[in-house]
Amino acid sequence: MDSRILCSFYRCTIESILTGCITAWYSSCTALNRKALQREVKAAQHITRTELPSMEDLYTQQCRKKATKIIKDPSHPATNCSACCRLADGSAAFEPEPPGSGKLHPAGHKTFKL
């Protein structure tokens, strides 16, 4: 079967199932659980013969999407909350990009959890 079809199937079904509510459950996974999930991704890479994003990359991507949606939603309670996007040391987890871009990026190279 064509690798594009297999990759499309993986991205639309398997990856969709694996990443469902990933922002709620992935951070509480043990290292053993994360290894097992990554083995599934590697198996899919072998079957599809394509490079696929790691579970860690998918988790980070979903967290950023969720944070961006929250920040852009004026009706969300955390939109104007200065403490909600702060790291443990009190510094900002996100900094705005140039005015008008409407985008945020992680501050520095710090690890953060949402």
Query: Are residues 18 and 31 located together in one domain of the fold?
Result: yes
Q: What tens digit of pLDDT does each residue of 67-113 get?
A: 888 888 888 877 666 555 555 566 666 555 555 555 555 554 444 45
* pLDDT at residue 17 in the model: 84
Mean pLDDT of the chain: 77
Q: What mean pLDDT is predicted for residues 23-35?
A: 90
Number of domains in the chain: 2
Please say which residue of 18, 38, 58 terminates a domain.
58
Instruction: Return the ∠ at Cα 75 (arms to 73 and 77), rounded to 5°.
Output: 100
* pLDDT at residue 88 in the model: 55
Query: Are residues 51 and 69 located together in one domain of the fold?
Result: no
Residues, the chain: 114
* pLDDT at residue 109 in the model: 42
Domain span including residue 51? 3-58
Query: Are residues 31 and 76 located together in one domain of the fold?
Result: no
Query: Are residues 50 and 79 located together in one domain of the fold?
Result: no
Residue 112 lies in a domain: no
Taking a C-beta distance cutoff of 8 angstroms, is the pair 16, 52 a contact? no
Query: Are residues 50 and 96 located together in one domain of the fold?
Result: no
Q: Which of 60, 72, 77 is nearest to 101 (CA)?
A: 72
Residue 114 lies in a domain: no
Q: What mean pLDDT is predicted for residues 27-44?
A: 92
Query: Are residues 26 and 67 located together in one domain of the fold?
Result: no
Query: Are residues 70 and 52 located together in one domain of the fold?
Result: no
